[in-house]
A and B are shown apart, each in its own frame.
Chain A
Amino acid sequence: MRVALFLTCVNDTLYPDTGRAVVRLLTRLGVEVDFPLGQTCCGQAHYNTGYRHEAEPLARRFAEVFGGYEAIVTPSGSCGAMVREQYPRMGGRARAEGRGNTLERVLAPVVPKTYELTEFLVDVLGVTDVGAYYPHRVTYHPTCHGLRGLGLGDRPRRLLQAVRGLELVELPGAEECCGFGGTFAVKNPDVSAAMGADKVRNAESTGAGVLCAGDNSCLMHIGGTMSRLGSGMRPVHIAEILASTEEEPAV
């Protein structure tokens, strides 16, 4: 199976460890991974801030770069949801504006074959035990677009529960937004920070050392709040936990 890693611009620039973890994990599971170098950004920040027309060329580019692969895997619930939920909508809006069905047609092929990482593991590869080892107490925060947009359900938890050495503890108010919200974080900084502080407080109450999630943008906000508040907790992307083994443990 020829699989493309759609890493996302945030991970490519700021979180290469997550990218390396996905490559290691998928390779270990027998998947041939490619990273098409033409990839940049799915256009989510543009689209969600109201710049739909600026997002359109980025979506076209995405379809062009990834169109030839059998599956497109991304370690981001929100970028995955951008492709799956918003690309069809963008095409529909273009048609409603009298611009024909070109955009719709161009984007349609990549929509059904784009998978968030945990979805790909559980639904496509059919695994929940990925042979990982991570001897830490972990609490899991389901990020909003993965949870409510893609409907990831209990897939991430099932994967984490199968990790040897990992103690999974329930996060109070888990399904409440962490307050990142893309440009929301800077357009409404007070509310965003208050939400982030509450999320960190809930995470600390679990006694876990690690807060795990499937979106590094949310973790950037939660982790930035943790370090500012002097919390002892660390934010870790789920890919890094699932990639970790006894032979090659994650740090």
Chain B
Amino acid sequence: MSVTFVGMPAFPVAAHEAVADSTLRGNLRHATHTIRAKRAAAVAEVSDWARLREAGRRIKDHTLRHLDRYLVQVEEAVTAAGGTVHWAADAEEANRIVTALVKATGESEVVKVKSMATQEIGLNEALEAEGIRAYETDLAELIVQLGKDRPSHILVPAIHRNRGEIRDIFRSEMREWGRPAPEGLTDAPAELAEAARLHLREKFLRAKVGISGANFVVAETGTLVVVESEGNGRMCLTLPETLISVVGIEKVVPTWRDLEVFLQTLPRSSTAERMNPYTSMWTGVRDEDGPSAFHLVLLDNGRTDTLADEVGRQALRCIRCSACLNVCPVYERAGGHAYGSVYPGPIGAILSPQLRGTQSEIDASLPFASSLCGACYEVCPVAIDIPEVLVHLRERVVQGGPATRQGNKVVLKPAKGHAAERAAMRAARWAFSHAGALRGGQRLASRTRRLHPRTLPGPGRAWTGTRDLPPVPAEPFRDWWQRTHGGQEGTK
């Protein structure tokens, strides 16, 4: 899938550096805690939030259950409205389709609306390889692109940067891409926004091709919907002559009535707004207004495989609000880059290993990048039980089992590096199946307690590196109970 993250180390290794970076920790802590509190307030205002959440879950589940039918309906409606629909099984095919469409216009640059799907497939890199320059126009995406950086958050891709860092990036990099930053630029938010506005305006007015994703596709009319805050998306959606939208197949909702639910839950969950400033909707093409050519690329890239998994498929309900990132204590400390994917945080930890499979080191480690605290599930506006899916994927990593890859049913082998743990778990299960063995172990631990070291070697160091061990008591509870209450000896 994305070319950006190949060779990522496992999560704990990547997180090790992030945890030690005090600037990053400060930036993330400030940003996530601010938005966390705002979201809670915005959600608390809605008296029927629990019902909206349940409605969102049901609409998504229903649509996914009948996706075959709704996707055909989308194709028919978009075609009838003058658009062209393309089907892409994977990232490579999607990139090939988009590149060919841009080349056919004769243009060598495109403007982009913030889009997770195009990042997932590494579209910018694919276009660049064919001599086409893609300009990101979302403010945060612009910061990431100018800084030759990677996004670290679904909604706020530059969340890991503070104002001073952004000023420095604008000052040194803007001139390479077009209009330079104004002289004497400071880190005042209004000045930074103005610098971006001036820089981007030239591109909007010049571009002949726009590329977007979509938050929703309404099947009954073939209408695409983009929800945003800045208005830069609307520029890209309306000014160019050709518009190409790359959209994951799970973005479909059947009707406009269904859309109503998500237009309430998405803004409150993501930016903590009652309503987002710009909601753009378009249906095919029309004369004298907006793009004269419209292409919809429907992207699978692992989604059908994910849909085949009974437990894991709920990840496809995700509307990319990022509330789970903002509330996640692991994300807050490890940062988005450690997840090695354009989808970081709790949702990324269940999405990436399903879309990409669990073979790579990073993908096999992601299901374990959680303390299972459940804060993500609590805030999810479509009720994705992220801890449930994490545990399910842990099983896939350590034990293997049935899965679907490229449309084929396969039986996965356990991932490498879990043999010792598997043996330990089996041994523990045996001991716990024999109360006598457990008691024997407890007594041994109690009798030797003065000999226990304060720090442990090998894997135990992961505990004693930062935490003292609890003292082992003189006798386990069960011995005390037997002594004082004369209970019967356990027989099993």
- Chain A interfacial positions (CB closer than 8 Å to B): 7, 9, 11-17, 19-20, 34-41, 43, 45-55, 57-58, 61, 64-65, 89, 93, 96, 144-145, 148-149, 175-177, 179-197, 220-221, 223-225, 227-228
In the complex, 22 of the A-B residue pairs with CB atoms within 8 angstroms, ordered by the A residue number, are: A7-B477, A12-B442, A12-B476, A13-B472, A37-B435, A50-B396, A51-B395, A54-B429, A57-B429, A176-B375, A181-B371, A184-B371, A185-B463, A188-B330, A189-B462, A191-B15, A194-B19, A195-B330, A195-B333, A197-B466, A221-B467, A223-B468
Using known A-B contacts A37-B478, A58-B429, determine if residue A9 contacts B397 with beta carbons closer than 8 Å. Answer: no
B11 within 8 A of A: yes
B172 within 8 A of A: no
B72 within 8 A of A: no
Determine the residue in chain A with the shortest Cβ distance to B488: A37
Q: Which of B131-139, B287-295, B419-427 contacts A (4 or more CB under 8 A)?
A: B419-427
- B19 near A191 (CB under 8 angstroms)? yes
- B391 near A38 (CB under 8 angstroms)? no
Give, as a whole number of angstroms, the nearest-CB distance from B374 to chain A: 4
| Residue picked from B433, B481, B488, most chain A C-beta under 10 Å | B481
The secondary structure that dominates the B interface is helix
Give, as a whole number of angstroms, the nearest-CB distance from A15 to chain B: 8
Give, as a whole number of angstroms, the nearest-CB distance from A222 to chain B: 9
- A148 near B369 (CB under 8 angstroms)? no
Q: Within the assembled complex, what's the spacing in Å between the Cα atoms of A25 and B375? A: 32
Determine the residue in chain A with the shortest Cβ distance to B368: A187
Partner of B467, one of A19, A61, A190, A225: A225
- Which residues of B144-176 have CB atoms within 8 Å of chain A's CB atoms? none
- A181 near B470 (CB under 8 angstroms)? no
- Which are the 7 A-B pairs with shortest beta-carbon distances? A181-B371, A224-B467, A50-B394, A37-B490, A177-B373, A16-B477, A193-B466
- B429 near A188 (CB under 8 angstroms)? no
- B368 near A189 (CB under 8 angstroms)? no
Q: Within the assembled complex, what's the spacing in Å between the Cα atoms of A183 and B398? A: 13
Instruction: Mark contacts of B10-37 with chain A using CB atoms, 8 A cut-off: 1 yes-contact digit, 0 otherwise.
Output: 0110011001100001000000000000
Using known A-B contacts A9-B438, A181-B371, A225-B466, determine if residue A61 contacts B391 with beta carbons closer than 8 Å. Answer: no
- A148 near B429 (CB under 8 angstroms)? no
Q: Within the assembled complex, what's the spacing in Å between the Cα atoms of A35 and B435? A: 13
Determine the residue in chain A with the shortest Cβ distance to B431: A40
Give, as a whole number of angstroms, the nearest-CB distance from A59 to chain B: 11
Using known A-B contacts A37-B488, A189-B466, determine if residue A9 contacts B432 with beta carbons closer than 8 Å. Answer: yes
Partner of A177, one of B329, B428, B462: B329
Q: Within the assembled complex, what's the spacing in Å between the Cα atoms of A162 and B468? A: 33
Collect the chain B residues with CB atoms within 8 Å of residue A37's CB: 435, 478, 481-482, 487-490
Collect the chain B residues with CB atoms within 8 Å of residue A65's CB: 492
B55 within 8 A of A: no
Total residues of chain B contacting the partner, CB 8 A: 72
Partner of B470, one of A48, A50, A96, A223: A223
Using known A-B contacts A40-B433, A51-B422, A191-B15, determine if residue A186 contacts B462 with beta carbons closer than 8 Å. Answer: yes
- B467 near A228 (CB under 8 angstroms)? yes
B252 within 8 A of A: no
Collect the chain A residues with CB atoms within 8 Å of residue B229's CB: none
Determine the residue in chain A with the shortest Cβ distance to B427: A54
- B473 near A14 (CB under 8 angstroms)? yes
Partner of B19, one of A61, A187, A190: A190
Partner of A35, one of B311, B398, B478: B478
Using known A-B contacts A37-B489, A57-B429, A188-B12, determine if residue A50 contacts B395 with beta carbons closer than 8 Å. Answer: yes
Q: Within the assembled complex, what's the spacing in Å between the Cα atoms of A15 and B473? A: 7
Q: Within the assembled complex, what's the spacing in Å between the Cα atoms of A43 and B487? A: 24
Using known A-B contacts A35-B481, A37-B487, A49-B394, determine if residue A144 contacts B429 with beta carbons closer than 8 Å. Answer: no
Determine the residue in chain B with the shortest Cβ distance to A8: B477
Known: A185-B462, A189-B465, A192-B371. 17 other contacts (CB 8 A): A15-B473, A16-B475, A16-B476, A17-B473, A38-B490, A41-B438, A46-B428, A51-B398, A57-B433, A148-B374, A177-B329, A189-B462, A190-B19, A191-B334, A193-B467, A224-B468, A224-B469
- A14 near B15 (CB under 8 angstroms)? no
